[in-house]
Amino acid sequence: MNTAPTTYSYAVDGLTCAHCVSAVSAELSALPGVEAVAVELVPGGVSTVTLTTDTPPAPQEIAAALDDAGDYRLLAGPEPR
C-alpha cells in the first residue's frame, strides 16, 4: 500500500540569495523519498523550506544536507502542511 506524499515545512537560517536556494534545493532533493523541494527565501532572516515526501527525513538528515549545501542551519521542523 503506497501512501500519498505529504508536504512538510522547515525553518532554515542562513539563506541569502538564489544561489543559496539552488544549493539547498539540490542537496535536499537528493535525500531518499523527497519528491519536491520549494524554498521561500527570506534574505537575512528565517526561510521556509518545504519538502514533498512520503516520509519526512530525520532532522539530522536535513541538518547534514543543509551543512553539505553551505552554512545553513535547521531551526525547526518538520511541520506538516
Where do the domains of the chain lie, and which CATH numbers do they carry? 6-80 (3.30.70.100)
Cβ contact 13:60 at 8 Å? no
Do 59 and 2 meet the contact criterion of CB atoms below 8 Å apart?
Answer: no
pLDDT attached to residue 79: 74
Per-residue pLDDT at 81 exceeds 50 = yes
pTM attached to this predicted model: 0.88
| Alpha carbons 16 and 18: distance in angstroms, whole number | 7
Query: Tens digits of per-residue pLDDT, 9-63?
Result: 999 999 999 999 999 999 999 999 999 999 999 998 999 999 999 888 899 999 9
